[in-house]
């Protein structure tokens, strides 16, 4: 049950460089091709927790692949293939140093700031008189800086992004357009599955030809928050917590155990029972978000499986 991949150090054919993020390990190959291995690491409050979650990487990767395939008609993306449940292969892009966060409800980080008395988030005004999980009059975009490993993402306004030269105005307007298109499509897909897409984040990059494309994950429980449509209004009228599908349950567990990633705080112990419960919850998320039964991949020798499947694909791709 507790077989996981929490680190990788593969040596694929045509490999030139490795980069390790919070959850994903990226292998740079020749001809501007990258292999992204989605690990079972789990992070919260920009901290990687000490234990991996079985099948979490598979859940995230397969949701992302499905969602990219369902949205590539409206926004281009970096994906070429997924030869293994934990692997994506795609085009190398130069990432923008900004995450495009879009919110349709006062939840999560926005709700926490609102409770502190803030009425402006990333330069965007939030109406007075809202309560947690209320819907905004229209979706708001609240960008965040893309932090390096071990650092915290920070809220930033569109005006500051342009003023500081992080992204040009022309490029930012494309990112904003793509963000709204993806969120509209993601919301429609969620509604078809009895869910509400509450908020999410998108990351974009430029190909070597200068084309702006969607990169990384999309509409996964790590990057998005979902509510169940059924009972939303009734729970909101009664000021009851919403039943949701996201990684928020992990954050709330950490908060209840006095951890929010602040200096001097210690990550609470993750028991076998808790790790299994998180794994089960991720599988539940997969089945609700995709409307498909989750099929567990062979976890007897995860690294060998990943290497073999990926290497076989690469040899065929490069014609070896």
Q: Nearest Cα to 289, choosing from 204, 235, 240, 223?
A: 223
Residue 163 lies in a domain: yes
Residue 150, pLDDT > 50, answer no
Provide the domain limits for residue 236. Answer: 95-249
Q: Nearest Cα to 66, choosing from 285, 229, 246, 245?
A: 285
H or E, element range at 282: helix 272-290
Q: Average pLDDT in the 284-303 region? A: 93
Residue 149, pLDDT > 60, answer no
Q: Average pLDDT in the 285-297 region? A: 93
Residue 240 lies in a domain: yes
Identify the band that residue 153 occupies on the pLDDT scale cut at 50, 70 and 90.
confident
Say which range, 132-136, 148-152, 155-159, 280-284, has the weakest mean pLDDT: 148-152
- Looking up residue 127, the CATH number of its domain turns out to be 3.30.470.20
| Structural domain count, the chain | 1
Q: Average pLDDT in the 289-315 region? A: 95
Residue 179 lies in a domain: yes
Over residues 187-233, the pLDDT tens digits come to 999 999 999 999 999 999 999 999 999 998 899 988 999 999 999 99
Residue 48 lies in a domain: no
* pLDDT on residue 1: 55
Residue 1 lies in a domain: no
Residue 152, pLDDT > 60, answer no
Q: 3-class SS at 278?
A: helix
Q: Give the whole-number percent of the chain exceeding pLDDT 90.
A: 84
Residue 130, pLDDT > 50, answer yes
Q: Average pLDDT in the 149-174 region? A: 88
* pLDDT on residue 268: 93
The answer to whether 185 and 74 are in contact (CB under 8 A) is yes
Over residues 61-87, the pLDDT tens digits come to 999 999 999 999 999 999 999 999 999
Angle ∠(202,204,207) on CA atoms, nearest 5: 155
The answer to whether 198 and 105 are in contact (CB under 8 A) is yes
The answer to whether 219 and 63 are in contact (CB under 8 A) is yes
Residue 39, pLDDT > 60, answer yes
DSSP string, 216-254: S--S-TTTEEEEESTTHHHHHHTTPPPPEEETHHHHHHH
Q: Give the whole-number percent of the chain exceeding pLDDT 70.
A: 98
Over residues 98-125, the pLDDT tens digits come to 999 999 999 999 999 999 999 999 999 9
The pTM of this model reads 0.88
Residue 201 lies in a domain: yes
* Structure tokens, 188: 């429609």
* pLDDT on residue 148: 56
User: What residues have CB less than 8 Å from 120, skipping those under 6 apart?
Assistant: 126
Residue 168 lies in a domain: yes
Residue 290 lies in a domain: no
Residue 151, pLDDT > 80, answer no
């Amino acid at each position: 049950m507790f077989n996981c991949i929490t680190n990788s150090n593969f040596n694929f054919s045509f490999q030139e460089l490795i980069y390790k993020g919070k959850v994903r390990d990226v292998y740079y190959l020749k001809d501007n091709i990258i292999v992204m291995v989605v690990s079972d690491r789990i992070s919260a409050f920009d901290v990687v927790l000490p234990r991996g979650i079985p099948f979490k990487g598979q859940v995230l990767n397969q949701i992302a692949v499905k969602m990219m395939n369902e949205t590539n008609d409206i926004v281009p993306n970096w994906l070429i293939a997924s030869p293994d449940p934990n692997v994506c292969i795609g085009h190398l892009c130069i990432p923008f140093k900004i995450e495009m966060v879009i919110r349709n409800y006062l939840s999560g980080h926005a709700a926490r700031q609102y409770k502190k008395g803030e009425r402006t988030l990333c330069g965007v005004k939030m109406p007075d008189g809202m309560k947690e999980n209320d819907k905004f009059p229209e979706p708001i975009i609240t960008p965040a800086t893309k932090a390096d490993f071990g650092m915290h993402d920070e809220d930033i306004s569109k005006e500051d992004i342009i003023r500081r030269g992080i992204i040009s105005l022309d490029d930012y307007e494309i990112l904003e357009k793509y963000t709204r298109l993806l969120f509209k499509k993601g919301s429609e897909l969620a509604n078809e599955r009895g869910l509400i897409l509450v908020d999410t984040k998108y990351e974009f990059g430029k190909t070597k030809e200068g084309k702006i494309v969607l990169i990384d994950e999309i509409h996964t429980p790590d990057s998005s928050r979902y509510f169940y449509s059924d009972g939303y209004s009734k729970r909101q009228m009664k000021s009851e917590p919403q039943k949701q599908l996201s990684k928020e349950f992990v954050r709330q567990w950490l908060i209840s155990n006095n951890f929010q990633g602040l200096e001097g705080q210690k990550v609470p112990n993750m028991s076998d029972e808790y790790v299994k419960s998180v794994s089960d919850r991720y599988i539940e998320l997969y089945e609700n978000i995709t409307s498909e039964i989750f099929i567990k991949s062979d976890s007897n020798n995860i690294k060998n499986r990943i290497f073999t499947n990926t290497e076989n694909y690469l040899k065929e791709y490069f014609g070896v």
